[in-house]
Amino acid sequence: MTAHPAAPELGRPRRRGEELAVLKLLAHAGADQTPVVLTSRDVGARIGVSQQAADRYLLALEHRGLLVRSMARRRQRLELTPAAMAMLRAEYHGYRRIFEGPARLSLSGQVASGLGEGRYYLSQPGYVVQFAERLGYAPFPGTLNVGVGAGALRKLALLASWQGVRIDGFEASGRTFGGATCYPARVNGRSGHLIRPDRTHHRDVVEIISPENLRTKLNVHDSDTVTIELEEA
Amino acid sequence: MTAHPAAPELGRPRRRGEELAVLKLLAHAGADQTPVVLTSRDVGARIGVSQQAADRYLLALEHRGLLVRSMARRRQRLELTPAAMAMLRAEYHGYRRIFEGPARLSLSGQVASGLGEGRYYLSQPGYVVQFAERLGYAPFPGTLNVGVGAGALRKLALLASWQGVRIDGFEASGRTFGGATCYPARVNGRSGHLIRPDRTHHRDVVEIISPENLRTKLNVHDSDTVTIELEEA
DNA sequence: ATTACTAGCGTACGAGTAA
DNA sequence: TTTACTCGTACGCTAGTAA
């Protein structure tokens, strides 16, 4: 058997499970709220590895931007970053799905006028081919914009941990078109997708795409109230 | 530096994180309900390892009683065992605690007569020293027995994934005394512990221990309704 | 006491391949 | 096609130890 000198996938991070165990441990210790003092020996003991291995985990996590360490008189203080909490939340969400089933959420809002942007973006071939491939349809060239209140916005924050369907960004005609994530949705019973651009404008408006012209099919006009129902894919 | 020929902890299972990833993947694929057909190549691709490594994981999981494989014409069917689901549920519970805080549950039941067993067991020195050490008190020698309905029993099933305080079994006077798990509880506001023997009798009665004589302190008698509140330690 | 580097070696990886 | 074996290699472990 010939030896292959070129190591396959050199540098790929392994040990993902163990590093996750460290994050989980720190989260339970409250390191998401305030820095906690925990020696590398303690960390190692809790997850069943040596002080040296635990130290390497901490180093790696810090390097990956998941952990902030501050040394105070030889004693490290550990604090999880928002990125680490997002990772843990995604993990939580994954387990939740196993036992509680796919997450659903329902919200209401008022139909609002678009700025004509939707039509322009949705007509870009770079997007259209992705919609056809990944959503299974070419959307009607125009988004249904729905203005939502503070309560609905808070619910929508949960979407961050949902899977969703990725639409990748691309470049065309010398400019950049950003990526987005789509979530299967029903608006007053008619199906389509809620689409969230990566570069969100932080406005209190959500955009819906659908194979149909929702405005005419639903017979809704500006400021009419519609109900949006989302279920995890 | 001297090399130590005796390898430390030889044979200890590593890769716990990766095996958990396989269990999670299978659970999402529905392998808890019905066997799923999934090649080792598929499994490997999903968790980012080779077919060979994935196969080794499956073999190890089967060996540990977490997975049942049945070969049908070169195609393996994979099904998770209850032990695997319990493991995943414990994991879920751990994450849940991070984001939702300690679990609580509240239930009602009717005071029931004990059979005098409680007094006998609670007087055993083997138990008493453990109660004093791990609960912080020596319980009043007599349990408060509370009969509960089907709904409450279903809630109590969740206790399986709680941490609890372990009381170990032991042998004394030529007989065996079994272990138990205690959960901090309040009965009509008075604190104590709900205690669940490992060898449960599957009766619809839960037992409460407390430093005080709860019957007299609460002034309750047989068939009076009491409320039990549990919060995770 | 800490954190964290080095050395040595065992475990677990993936390639190749049998069945 | 599968599953699952052998085998060489190298990653990541722990011990020892510096700072």
pLDDT of residue B3: 31
- Note whether B98 contacts A16, CB cutoff 8 Å: no
- Measured distance CA(A201)–CA(A196) in Å, rounded: 10
Q: Do B116 and B75 share a domain, yes or no? A: no
Chain B, nearest residue to A95 by Cα: B92
Contact A50, A56 (CB under 8 A): no
Question: What would the mean pLDDT of B123-140 be, rounded to a whole number?
Answer: 95
List residues, Cβ < 7 Å, touching strand D. Answer: A 1, 3-5, 7, 10, 13-15, 18, 44, 49-50, 52-53, 56; B 1-2, 4, 8-9, 14, 39-41, 51-52, 55, 58-59, 69, 71, 74-76
- Note whether A28 contacts B96, CB cutoff 8 Å: no
Residue A65 inside a domain? The answer is yes
Residue B94 inside a domain? The answer is no
Closest CA to B142 of B112, B169, B164: B112
> Of A85, A112, A132, at which residue does a domain stop?
A85
pLDDT of residue B118: 81
- Measured distance CA(A52)–CA(A41) in Å, rounded: 8
Q: Do A25 and A70 share a domain, yes or no? A: yes
Helical axes B82-100 vs A16-28, angle rounded to 10°: 50
Q: Do A115 and A184 share a domain, yes or no? A: yes
Encoding tokens for residue B40?
């080792």
Q: Is the model's pLDDT at B10 over the cut of 80?
A: no
The parts of chain A modelled with pLDDT lower than 70 are 1-14, 115, 202
Q: Do B191 and B131 share a domain, yes or no? A: yes
Q: Do B81 and B151 share a domain, yes or no? A: no
- Note whether B32 contacts A98, CB cutoff 8 Å: yes
CATH number of the domain that residue A162 is part of: 2.40.30.30
Residue B96 inside a domain? The answer is no
Convert the pLDDT of each residue in B133-144 to its tens digit.
999 999 999 999
- Measured distance CA(B128)–CA(A216) in Å, rounded: 75
pTM: 0.82
> Of A23, A55, A85, at which residue does a domain stop?
A85
Amino acid at residue number A22:
V
Question: What would the mean pLDDT of B221-230 be, rounded to a whole number?
Answer: 96
Q: Please enumerate in sequence order all residues whose Cβ is within 8 A of that of A94, keeping only pairs 6 or more positions apart, or say none.
A: B24, B28
Residues of A in contact with B96 (CB under 8 A): 92, 95-96
Encoding tokens for residue A32?
């998401």
pLDDT of residue A11: 35
Convert the pLDDT of each residue in A87-136 to its tens digit.
999 999 999 999 999 999 999 999 998 767 788 889 999 999 999 999 99
pLDDT of residue A75: 85
Q: How far in angstroms lies nucleotide D13's C1' from the CA of residue B33?
A: 38
Q: Do A126 and A227 share a domain, yes or no? A: yes
Q: How far in angstroms lies nucleotide D18's C1' from the CA of residue A56?
A: 17
Closest CA to A233 of A185, A173, A167: A185
Q: How many CB atoms lie within 10 A of CB B86?
A: 13
What residues does A75 pair with on adjacent strands? Answer: A72
Tell me phi and psi for residue B133, to 5 degrees.
-75, -45
**How many domains are contained in chain A?**
2
CATH number of the domain that residue B65 is part of: 1.10.10.10
B115 vs B228, which has greater pLDDT? B228
Q: Do A69 and A120 share a domain, yes or no? A: no
Nucleotide showing the shortest C1' distance to residue B42 CA? D2
pLDDT of residue A14: 59
Q: Is the model's pLDDT at B73 over the cut of 90?
A: no
> Of B56, B85, B114, at which residue does a domain stop?
B85
Residue A120 inside a domain? The answer is yes
> Whole-number mean pLDDT of chain A?
89
Q: Do A170 and A211 share a domain, yes or no? A: yes
Residue given tokens 């997975």 in the structure block: B67
The whole domain housing B22 covers 15-85
With distances taken from each CA to the C1' atom of nucleotide C6, the closest residue turns out to be: B1
Residue given tokens 């929508």 in the structure block: A156
**Three state DSSP letters for B53-105:** HHHHHHHHHHHCCCEEEEEECCEEEEEECHHHHHHHHHHHHHHHHHHHCCCEE
Contact B77, B37 (CB under 8 A): yes
Which sign, positive or negative, has the C-alpha torsion A88, A90, A91, A93?
positive
Residue B160 inside a domain? The answer is yes
Residue B58 inside a domain? The answer is yes
Q: Do A115 and A145 share a domain, yes or no? A: yes
Question: What would the mean pLDDT of B42-53 be, rounded to a whole number?
Answer: 91
Chain A, nearest residue to B96 by Cα: A92
Q: How far is B169 from chain A (nearest CA, A)?
A: 25
Share of chain A above pLDDT 70, in %: 93
Contact B97, B233 (CB under 8 A): no
- Note whether B98 contacts A32, CB cutoff 8 Å: yes
Tell me phi and psi for residue B224, to 5 degrees.
-70, 145
B14 sits within 7 Å of strand C by its CB: yes
Contact A72, A58 (CB under 8 A): no
Convert the pLDDT of each residue in B75-123 to its tens digit.
899 999 999 999 999 999 999 999 999 999 999 999 998 767 788 889 9
- Measured distance CA(B218)–CA(B225) in Å, rounded: 11
**N-to-C CA span, chain B:** 46
Encoding tokens for residue B72?
């049908």
Residue A33 inside a domain? The answer is yes
Residue A8 inside a domain? The answer is no
Q: Is the model's pLDDT at B2 over the cut of 80?
A: no
Contact B145, B201 (CB under 8 A): no
With distances taken from each CA to the C1' atom of nucleotide C12, the closest residue turns out to be: B53
Q: How far is CA B44 from CA A17, A195, B21, B38, B40, in A?
A: 15, 31, 10, 10, 6
Contact B78, B69 (CB under 8 A): yes
Q: Do B113 and B220 share a domain, yes or no? A: yes
Per CB distance under 8 Å, which residues of B are interface residues toward A? 15-18, 20-21, 24, 27-28, 32, 88-89, 91-92, 94-99
Contact A110, A176 (CB under 8 A): no
Convert the pLDDT of each residue in B205-218 to its tens digit.
999 999 999 999 99
Q: Do A131 and A34 share a domain, yes or no? A: no
Q: Do B74 and B109 share a domain, yes or no? A: no
